[in-house]
Structure formats: structure tokens, C-alpha cells
Structure 1
Amino acid sequence: MVSGATSLSLVRDELFTTIEEAESSLEQFIAERHNGSLLQQAVENLQQVRGTLNLIELAGAELLAQEVLDQATDIPAGAGEERDVQLSALSNALHVLRRYLENVDAHRQEMPELLLPAINDLRQAGGQPALPESFFFSVRLDHARPRSTPVALDAAAKEIEGRRLRHMYQVGLLGFIREQNPQASLKLMGRAMGRLDSLYANEPRGRLSWIGAAALEAQVDGQLLARKSRKQLFSRIDRELKQMLGNGQYEAPRSLLKELLYLVALADSRGPVATPVRELFGLTPLPFTDHLLEEEYQRLAGPGQAVMRSLSSAIREELASVKDMLDLIERGTLQADNLSNLHALLGKLSKTLGMVGLSSAGNSLSAQLQTVAGWSEESPPQTQELLKLADAVLYVEGMVASLERGERRDARAVQAQPGHEAESFAYHQLNEARIVVVDEAQAGLALAKRAITAYLEASGDRMHLSNVPFSLQAVRGGLWFLGQERAALLVGACAEYIQKQMLEAPQMPSEQMLETLADALSSLEYYLEAGAVLRPETQPSVLDLAAESVRALGLPVAA
């Protein structure tokens, strides 16, 4: 039996006609809510649509049609304003369903993931939980992880270390949720999960840390979007960590592990943490990327190409009228009516362009309104003023042409500050100097971390550390220059530990202590990467985290 995308052409005309009838009945019902027969007609059409999609086995489209049908059946005749959100979600879902089927018919390719946002909008409007991103993704979760050597710590020390690492994860999570340098935040979260994995590697509860670290690496490597669903997913991990640290028999929920593995598959990361996870679970690259999904969904949710072509055609006609008026003005056949019509037309076009997402084009016309308002037969426009308006019109024409191509690009206007150039320049120079100091500090911390790794791999060869205390003292001085006294003291403490416990001591510290030192340096590095130096309003909790690690090294730290 022919099924899926290939069989859509067999029922295409009847299916699209039925969807359009359902849309029409629903729109009429929204306007005439007392008329229950309109709603009933929409429900009957939706039942037919759902049945047809089930017959040709378009699973994603059938699921959306089923959700639409369930929601439509739930709405009573005479529904009031309390149902507006639900009705809006229904209308939008039908639009997305039709656009999706048009794409499947044109390209013979199914991508049911594109329908999840519309499905979840419907479910949210109806008070139901959202479906996860991995809903259409399949993976076996019962593969046994290869055994490894965990860190040798007693139960009490593990508990203390686990709490510190959870705090590290929380600091990164807060930055990710707030989108304050998300990449740096994700790296800090990933380090915390990797370190937790080293504590619980061969225990059932360690599975969450192992797969979670891989998902975080994938989120960074694949440059996956910071979607609301992902912020919720990584927040859920924090809640699970609380249970994991307090319960030696803890096992992560399978639904959570599946979501994390979906991110690994979506990013197709080749990183050192994600690769063994991907290989063990047999994760193959998905036929789409995160950014492709976003672009395609925006295209589905937006107006159809026929609508945009019609709209751009109407706008171009009005632009032609503007150019005709400018031509008359330039020839000297200036009339008061021409000027008032020109002003009104520019204002109307400006608002229309803003409504379709071309705000910079609308702003370029809006900026000309005051100039045009000053024109009159007694005070005709200057040549330079006409040229500026003509340039704006040509710019708008180029932007409008993008509507027909289905693009939604918008140029950002540069905000000028006349009269404050000297002050702005001085501020800019100071800011540039601060940025250079921060960059040098980051480089110094990164150098120290690499040197510690080399020292560990070389079984304590001090040669790798010879320049590290000097580099960290330079970082410390830069932080004092920036007014970051607390951060400077913590860097100085790390330099002191390296000098006394690694360069001068007869034996190298334990691997656990070296990892703790790296945690302190990673926290300070994150503090710099996340912009805390240049934006003082950033929460000081990152420095609290660095201080915890320094204390764990046995060094005194001022509160």
C-alpha cells in the first residue's frame, strides 16, 4: 500500500478543500458564536480531515488534526472571551496544517517535528502538558555503559563535593536561562556534570550525569537554540540532581534521558563526551538541524507565499504612487493636495511595513514624515530633501521584494547621538581598554588550566607549571585595575596554591585536588566570559562558587 507523502497527491484536492471549509466555518463561528451549527460543521470537516490523514499514514499531520478536533469538540456554542486563546490556537493550527501539507505535497518529504509548536500551543490553550521535543524520536535506553574508574572518596566527601558541583551547575543554569553568554554558561554546566559523572561513574545514579554532560556538549557544539523547552529541560536536571545526591539508589526518569539523547542526535556532536554516548546508543544524524527546523516553522506559521505576493504587490503600487508624486514635485508642478496626499501615503505605508515585520523599512519612511510635513507651496522642498526621500523609497522597494521571496530580513538602523561625539569616543576608548584587559585575563586563566592538565598527564613534571604563577599574578593585577578586588584575591589564592603545593611541595596533589583547582579557575574564567567585569549588575554567585573551590583546596578566603 502506498502511504505517507507519496500518497498525498491521491487525496490532495479533496483534503485541501475540506481543510479550507473547516477554516471558513471556524472563522464564521468566531464572529457568530451563538451559531452552534457553524462549529458543528467545522468539527465534521475536521473528522474527515483526521480520517484521511490516518488513511494515508501521515502521522504528524494526523496528530495535529486530532488535537484540533479534540479542542474544537471541547468548545461550546456561545463561547465567550474566555475561549479566545483556544480559538486563536485552533485557527493558527489549521493554518499550519494546511501549509505543512502543501510543503509535503511539493517536496515529498515529511518532517513531523515542524508541527510540535502548533500542537503544543493547542495543548497549552486547552490546559494540557506539552509534548516533548523528542516525541517523534526513537532510541533504546537499555544499553549498559562501559565501566570506568570513579574518584576515590568516602561517602561524606562525595556528598560535600556533589553539593559544590551542583552549585556550579546552578550558576551556569542561571546564566543560560537569562541568556547571559549562554555558551560560557553551558560549558560551566557541562563541567559540573562531567565532574559529577566522575564521582558516580559506576553507580546507576551516574547515568544522568554522563548523558547530561553529553547533551550539554551537544548544545554547545551544535549551537542549538536556547528554546524555552531546553531551559525547562536543564532546569529539570537541577531538580533531579537534588534527588540523585540524596539517594544512592536513584535512577533518572527514562523520559528525561530520551530528551537528552535527542539533543545529542540533533547536534550530531563529535565532542569527546558526546561521541561515546552517540556510539553506545547508535544515534545517527537526524535529517534536519535545529536552525533548519526554526526557519521552516517560521515559514509555516507565517502567511503563505500567495498572501505575501499579494501584499507586496499592493505595497509596490503605493510606492509607485509616491514616486509619481515626487516626480510632479521635482518638475515644479507643486500643489497643496499633492503634499497632503504624499504625507498621508507615507504614514500609511510606514505602519503597513511595520505590521509585516519590515520595521526598518517602515522607520525609514516614518523618519521622512516631519520633513514632508514642512513642505508647502511657499516653502518648497530642497533638492537634498527630495533625494533623501527618494533614497528611502528605493530602500523600501528592495525590502518589499524580499516578501515575495519568503524572506523576513530586517536591517537594524544605527542610532546616532549628535553633539556627544567627543564624550562617546572617550567612553569607547576606556571600554576598549577594559575589554583588552579582560581578554588578557581570560587568556591567562586558560593557559593555567592547560598547564595543569599537562602537569597531570606528565605525572607531576613541574616544568609545565614554571610560568603559571607569574601569569596568574598578571591576571590578578588586571582584575585590580578593573576594580574587581574579590576576583583578584581568588586568582591570587590559586597562584599561591600552585606555587606552594605543586612547584615547591615534594609530592604532587591528588587528582581530586587538581580537579578542584581547575574548578576554581573555570569559575573565574566563566565570571570573565559571562561579562561580569563589564556589567557589574551580574550576580556575584559565580565568585561564591570560585570561593567554595578555593576553600576546598584548604586556603583561607575572605567572605
Structure 2
Amino acid sequence: MVTGATSLSMVRDELFVTMEEAEQSLEHFIAERNNGSLLQQAVESLHQVRGTLNLIELAGAELLAQEILQQATDIPAGAGAERDGQLSALSNALHVLRRYLENVEASRQEMPELLLPAINDLRQAGAQPPLPESFFFSARLDQPRPRIAASTLDSAARVEEGRRLRHMYQVGLLGFIREQSIQASLKLMARAVARLDSLFANDPRGRLCWVAAAALEAQVEGQLLARKSRKQLFSRVDRELKQLLANPQYEVPRSLLKELLYLVALADSRGPLASEVRNVFGLTPLPFTDQMLEDEYQRLSGPGQAVMRSLSTAIREELASVKDSLDLLGRGTAQPESLVTLHAQLGKLAKTLGMVGLSSAGNALQVQLPIVVSWSEGASADGDALNKLADAVLYVEGMVASLERGGRHEPRPQTQPGQEAESFASHQLTEARIVVIDEAKAGLALAKRAITAYLESNGDKMHLANVPFSLQAVRGGLWFLGQERAALLVGSCADYIQTQMLESQQMPSEQMLETLADALTSLEYFLEGGAMLRRDSESSVLDLAAESVRALGLPVAA
């Protein structure tokens, strides 16, 4: 609200002094837990802060101040280590509140959504349920869903098909929760709920599938972050799907509907489902994006991945300088003083890598230091020693790349000094496997596009001419990767296309073609996961593909 942001300047000085008093009293109490008067002083100051924010109508800031006050009031004098979490959350929340108010004063614009992470950290520390992302969002929730063509399946068949599609959703959800191939997992979930929507579109229970499909489309196209709250949201959708399949009169809870609509509004996706939902519910684009919220909150709370990426860039620049020195050594044109510089660079890099948790990379450089010292003292830089140092630098460069990507990765196995060449060779083999996987994914995507074109052209077989051959090539690639079960399932899909679509005079039903697409989508998801999928996930995904192949009437090996 403009009023709150404008009024802040009128009370700023007094408000900030009071906040500083609260922070100091709290800090002193943390050091002197038995001094209850310090805690009481902090509580009194927080009362004033909350009252002032209420007076100038800064709703988000007032809510955070209220949460801080409640938590501070809950802490007793003499609090022990069991209250450390609450005290830490209090200190962080006060820091965030101050930074937020400074930003509001500077920009004259409120963004209360920025305060939700700090509010929920406080609530978690106090064993209270978190506030939803959509807490500050509002929408009309009673808009009717436009009617579409009804499914031709009877009620029992729809429920049976619904169970298979819920399984598909669960497989994707598991990958999303574990952050394994997030985009592929979301696409699998989106396909599942979109197919469920086609089954139950004109039933009251279809409303959940319709809005959830739009939210997932928005999550994918808007590249929204995989926040914990969103994992919980889509897990809740799964639980609701179970009720939906069991109860023909099921209606989606309003709180869940609001959360899903918030994602649609946040992403401002141009996809067909999200656009339809946005129009029906009258959603307008929000004045911020998901990434903007994340960036602004990082500024409020302190350094995050941006700092790590900056550090990575600096390390890579140092590595480039090291490689230049190695090049001069290899040519025999290095000056003695350059060896001293090289030794200093390697030592500095080794320490830095250890500090950011890349201990094996740091060790790889550390063991090279005595060799560089011997070179500076007059020993000749022989080819083997130079190659080992070059291998170590390449290994470090690969490890540092994870910092620059800023993503979550499984920790690499520790490489022993002297084994950098083997590690690099293993990395090259992994790259080769990725090429095979990419080719296989391209083959499956081609098959899916061809099936869509075949359906839209009312059975023009020309669109399918090369599909069995492409799928057999995919099958061969999977055999090469040691994925025999996946290869057999791809082969079954190729056989179905050959016998039931190319050689048959009758076009399969739309339901069967969708089921075939489900099988290919599941296999595509399996490949999207690649080496990142856990073994238990692999089995689950292939079970899902096998269910679809079985639904096509084809035998499936156990």
C-alpha cells in the first residue's frame, strides 16, 4: 500500500531506534540466559515496533513483527539449548525486518511476500504450521469450469484408468521431491493430471485436475523454483487425487485451489491450460516473478548461491592463470619467478577449495605443491609430472563447475591424489553415455510427435513411416547402456505401432493412442533422469511404463 510506504518515513527514526534496542536486548539475553529483564526489555520494544507498523498499515511487516513478538514472549528466562532454534530464528527475523523496512523506505513499494520465509522460519521454530505462499494473494474461487467433450469410458473404467494415471503422477512427484530431473518430473506430473482432467472434466471432481494441470504447466513454463512449500503442495494434490478417485462427489478444498491459482498467477505462463484458467478466474499478472522474490529475499537475509557463483568465477580465473603457467612450463619458457607465483596460486586455491567443501579438489592441488617447489629450486619439469599437474587442474575445474551452476548435486566420490586422470576418463565416459541418452530421448520425442500427427490427420500412416525404425534404434541404445528392461518396453511400443497402426486397416481408438503416448512419456522420463535416478526410482518408472504397455494389450516381461 502506498500509504504505509509513504508513512514509514515519518516514523522511521524512532522505529529503527526501537528495533535496535530490541535487537541489543535479545543479543544480551542470548549471552545471559538467566537475565529475564533483558528479555522483558526486548518484548517491550517489540510491542512498540508492532504497534507502530500497525499504525502506518504495513501489513506484511506488522505480521512479521507480531510473529517475532509471539516467539519472544514464549521464551522463558533461563532458556536452555532447546530454545537455540527459536532464538536464532528471532535474530534472523529482526535482521530481515530491518532490511525490508529499509527497502520499503527506499523504493516506496511494499512486497510482503518477501517476509513469508522469515515468518515461516519463526513458525517452524515455534512448532506452528507455516503460512501458505498464497497468504497475501486473493482470487475469485467460485468460477465454473467450461464444459468440454466428455470421456466415452464408463465410470468403472475411468476410475481404473485414473489409478494408473495417479501412479504416473506419483512417479513424477517422487522425482520432483528428490529434485531429480525437475523439469522432466513436472512434465510427467502435468501429463498425468491433464489426462485425469480429460477423464473427469465435467464432474465436480474434475475441477482439481483442471487447475492442477494449469499450475503444473505454469510451474514448468515459468521455471518456478522447487521450493519446499511447492513440494508439499503437489504432495497434497496426490492425496486429494486418492479421494477424488474414491468419491464421485468430491470437491477440491478452497485452500488448495487458491494455492494452485497462485502458481498460475505467479508464472504468467502463456500455455493453453494456464491461459484458460487465468481467464476464467480473472487472474492478473503479479507485480513480481518467482526469481525476483528469491533474489530480493537473498538480499534481505544475506549471501546465498550468488556469492558461491561469484567465488566460482574467481577460482576459474585463477585456474586460467595456472594453465597459462603450465603452458609456459611445457614449452620450456617459464621464468624462475613464475614458478614461485604458480606455487602461491596453487596453495591459495587449495585452501579456498577446502573452505567451500571441495576437499578432494583442494587435496589434488595440495600434493602438487612439493613438486612445484622442486622446479623452482632447479629441478627439471619432466613430462609426467607436468601431465599429473594438468590432470589435477582439469579435475579441479570440473569440481568447481558445480559451484557455478549453483544447483544441488549428489556429492562426487572422493578422488585420491594421483588418480585425477582416471577420474577425468570416467567423466569422459559419462559424457559419452549422455550422448547416447540424448539420442534416445530424441527418438522417443520423434515418436510422440508422429503419433500426435497421425491422430490429428485421422490415421495418415505416412507420419509413422520411420517411427518403428527410430524406436528400434532407441532400443539398441538402451541395450548398450545396460537397460534391458527399458529396451524391451521400447521394443513393445515399436511392435504396437508396426502391427496395430501401420499394418492394421483400423485406426486404434484415441484412448489407446493416449495410452501409447503414456508409455513413451514414462520411458522419456526414465531417460531424462539418466544416471541421476536412484535405483528404486528406476524400477518405479519402468513399472509405470509397463502398466501402459500392458494396457495396450501387449505382454510384458516381469
- Settle same-fold status: TM greater than 0.5: yes
CA contact (8 A) 2:22 2:43 kept: yes
1: CA distance, partners of 2:63 / 2:354: 35
| Number of the residue aligned with 2:392 | none
1: CA distance, partners of 2:216 / 2:476: 33
**Is the partner of 1:64 in helix, strand or coil?**
helix
| Number of the residue aligned with 1:76 | 76
**Is the partner of 1:279 in helix, strand or coil?**
helix
| Number of the residue aligned with 2:493 | 494
CA contact (8 A) 2:364 2:418 kept: no
Please report how far the alpha carbon of residue 426 of structure 1 lies from its aligned counterpart in structure 2 after TM superposition. Answer: 5.0
| Number of the residue aligned with 2:266 | 266
Please report how far the alpha carbon of residue 420 of structure 1 lies from its aligned counterpart in structure 2 after TM superposition. Answer: 4.5
1: CA distance, partners of 2:223 / 2:249: 34
- Check 1:212–1:13 CA distance in 2 against 1; reply closer, same or farther (3 A cut): same
| Number of the residue aligned with 1:236 | 236
Please report how far the alpha carbon of residue 31 of structure 1 lies from its aligned counterpart in structure 2 after TM superposition. Answer: 1.6
- Check 1:9–1:359 CA distance in 2 against 1; reply closer, same or farther (3 A cut): farther
Q: How does 1:36-51 map to 2 (within 5 A)?
A: 36-51=36-51
| Number of the residue aligned with 1:469 | 468
CA contact (8 A) 1:224 1:267 kept: yes
| Number of the residue aligned with 1:145 | 145
**Is the partner of 2:276 in helix, strand or coil?**
helix
Residue by residue, what CA displacement relative to the aligned partner does 1:117-155 show, whole Å, maximum 9, x if unpaired? Answer: 111111111111000011111111111111001221011
| Paired residue type of 1:211 | V
| Number of the residue aligned with 1:441 | 440
Cα root mean square deviation, aligned: 3.5
CA contact (8 A) 1:502 1:508 kept: yes
| Number of the residue aligned with 1:528 | 527
| Number of the residue aligned with 1:213 | 213
- Check 1:538–1:205 CA distance in 2 against 1; reply closer, same or farther (3 A cut): closer
Segment of structure 1 superposing worse, 477-486 or 7-16:
477-486
| Number of the residue aligned with 1:167 | 167
| Number of the residue aligned with 1:181 | 181
Please report how far the alpha carbon of residue 485 of structure 1 lies from its aligned counterpart in structure 2 after TM superposition. Answer: 1.4
Structure 2: runs of 5 or more not aligned: 308-336, 338-343, 380-402
- Check 1:80–1:159 CA distance in 2 against 1; reply closer, same or farther (3 A cut): same
**Is the partner of 1:57 in helix, strand or coil?**
coil
Please report how far the alpha carbon of residue 80 of structure 1 lies from its aligned counterpart in structure 2 after TM superposition. Answer: 2.1
2:513 pairs with 1:510:
no
1: CA distance, partners of 2:146 / 2:405: 50
| Number of the residue aligned with 1:321 | none
2: CA distance, partners of 1:422 / 1:79: 54
| Paired residue type of 1:5 | A
2: CA distance, partners of 1:276 / 1:538: 34
Q: How does 1:136-535 map to 2 (within 5 A)?
A: 136-302=136-302, 419-420=418-419, 423-424=422-423, 427-531=426-530
Residue by residue, what CA displacement relative to the aligned partner does 1:323-371 show, whole Å, maximum 9, x if unpaired? Answer: xxxxxxxxx9xxxxxxxxxx9xx99x969x988xx7789x989977996
| Number of the residue aligned with 2:319 | none
CA contact (8 A) 1:218 1:269 kept: yes
| Number of the residue aligned with 1:29 | 29
Identical-pair percentage:
77
| Paired residue type of 1:29 | F
| Paired residue type of 1:434 | R
CA contact (8 A) 2:444 2:524 kept: yes
2: CA distance, partners of 1:495 / 1:253: 42
- Check 1:12–1:447 CA distance in 2 against 1; reply closer, same or farther (3 A cut): same
1: CA distance, partners of 2:450 / 2:405: 46
Please report how far the alpha carbon of residue 160 of structure 1 lies from its aligned counterpart in structure 2 after TM superposition. Answer: 1.0
Residue by residue, what CA displacement relative to the aligned partner does 1:391-429 show, whole Å, maximum 9, x if unpaired? Answer: xxxxxxxxxxxxxxxxx98999x9997755664565455
| Paired residue type of 2:225 | L
| Paired residue type of 1:465 | L
| Paired residue type of 2:198 | S
2: CA distance, partners of 1:458 / 1:528: 29
Under a length normalisation based on structure 1, what TM-score does the superposition of the two structures give? 0.80
Please report how far the alpha carbon of residue 462 of structure 1 lies from its aligned counterpart in structure 2 after TM superposition. Answer: 1.4
2: CA distance, partners of 1:453 / 1:364: 52
Segment of structure 1 superposing worse, 540-549 or 287-296:
287-296
Please report how far the alpha carbon of residue 81 of structure 1 lies from its aligned counterpart in structure 2 after TM superposition. Answer: 2.1
Please report how far the alpha carbon of residue 70 of structure 1 lies from its aligned counterpart in structure 2 after TM superposition. Answer: 1.1
2: CA distance, partners of 1:423 / 1:204: 60
- Check 1:366–1:84 CA distance in 2 against 1; reply closer, same or farther (3 A cut): farther
Please report how far the alpha carbon of residue 460 of structure 1 lies from its aligned counterpart in structure 2 after TM superposition. Answer: 1.1
Segment of structure 1 superposing worse, 17-26 or 33-42:
33-42
| Number of the residue aligned with 1:112 | 112
| Paired residue type of 1:292 | M
2: CA distance, partners of 1:125 / 1:19: 21
| Number of the residue aligned with 1:326 | none
CA contact (8 A) 2:151 2:198 kept: yes
1: CA distance, partners of 2:73 / 2:417: 60
| Paired residue type of 2:437 | V
CA contact (8 A) 1:359 1:410 kept: no
CA contact (8 A) 2:415 2:423 kept: no
CA contact (8 A) 1:360 1:411 kept: no
| Paired residue type of 2:551 | A
2: CA distance, partners of 1:461 / 1:288: 46
Structure 1: runs of 5 or more not aligned: 309-331, 333-342, 385-407
| Paired residue type of 1:176 | F
| Paired residue type of 1:467 | N
- Check 1:411–1:60 CA distance in 2 against 1; reply closer, same or farther (3 A cut): closer
| Number of the residue aligned with 1:125 | 125
Residue by residue, what CA displacement relative to the aligned partner does 1:445-492 show, whole Å, maximum 9, x if unpaired? Answer: 111111111111111111111221121122122222222211111111
1: CA distance, partners of 2:548 / 2:448: 15
2: CA distance, partners of 1:98 / 1:428: 47
| Paired residue type of 1:506 | Q
- Check 1:282–1:233 CA distance in 2 against 1; reply closer, same or farther (3 A cut): same
| Number of the residue aligned with 1:90 | 90
| Paired residue type of 1:456 | L
1: CA distance, partners of 2:462 / 2:64: 64
Work out the number of aligned pairs and report it. 491
